[in-house]
Amino acid sequence: MAAKIKHAHRVWKDFRAYEVVSRRLNQSIVTTHFHHVPNIAYGEHERQTFDVYRAVLPRKDRALIVFVHGGTWARGDKSDYAFVAESFTQEGFDVVLLNYRLAPQFRFPDYVNDVIYAINHLHQQQQQLSICTENVVLMGHSAGAFNIMSALYAQNTSEHFHCLSNIQAVIGLAGPYHFNYANDVSLQQAFPTDLFYKQVMPYYHVKENHIQHLLVVAELDLIVASHNSKDMHYALCKAGNDSTLARVRYAGHISLVGSLSTRFSHYFTTKRLILDYLNHVLDNV
């Protein structure tokens, strides 16, 4: 029990520290690369909103990255990740930063359904938003990576994508894809205790599809074990899906997503790894 409390305290401390760092990163972004349309509602709850960042110089394929933040399903906000949008709009991608309903008020699969609601709304309103959903990339960090993978593979979601064939790639950054939350009080607030964890985790429900997957592990991650991404990679490959597993050296769980910022991307391989992967995927669509 003491070890679990210590782990939970470290997770909380790391995320608190990241909130401070993210504000610093956001203060240094260059806004000339995008047009920002904030707080677009895709549902009735105050958390069911997203921000659109349209690239000033868009790619010819008009690819759209939808980024889903982490935060142990109980914290985090899209505004913390403006630096991610700035970094990829600089490369010509349109970017959506997504908020979703949080625990403990909401539990799985509510926040997973929110990903699907948001993508469907983007698809339906693409002309009004001046975006294109022909080539959608889902990207998530930590709990956000779980959310996007579960939106594709969980068996308990109540909604379905209206444009599944347009989702070309999934990028999971340090995602947890199979773990037992039964004995972890901090996680029980986000998951239904009446469901066995194998009924919930996307790892156990992978099915074949056309989507390309990039699973990224941080070498120094002390929060999410690397076997999550490794095992998910093998499950995807076993099902006949295209999956690539990559490791970023010198990065920890929090610094992995921070390394996407233009301020720090030249110190890490994360952004170049993702760009090379997406260029390969989109060139072959």
Q: Where are the domains of the chain?
A: 2-283
pLDDT for the residue numbered 24 = 78
Question: Could you say which residues of the chain have pLDDT below 50?
Answer: 1-15
pLDDT for the residue numbered 8 = 38
Please give the angle made by the CA atoms of 110, 116 and 121, to the nearest 5 degrees.
120
| Residue 175 CA from chain centroid, whole number | 8
Please give the angle made by the CA atoms of 261, 97 and 111, to the nearest 5 degrees.
125
Q: What CA–CA distance (Å, rounded) separates 81 from 261?
A: 9
pLDDT for the residue numbered 17 = 58
Q: What architecture (CATH level 2) is domain 2-283? A: 3-Layer(aba) Sandwich (3.40)
pLDDT for the residue numbered 45 = 98
pLDDT for the residue numbered 20 = 65
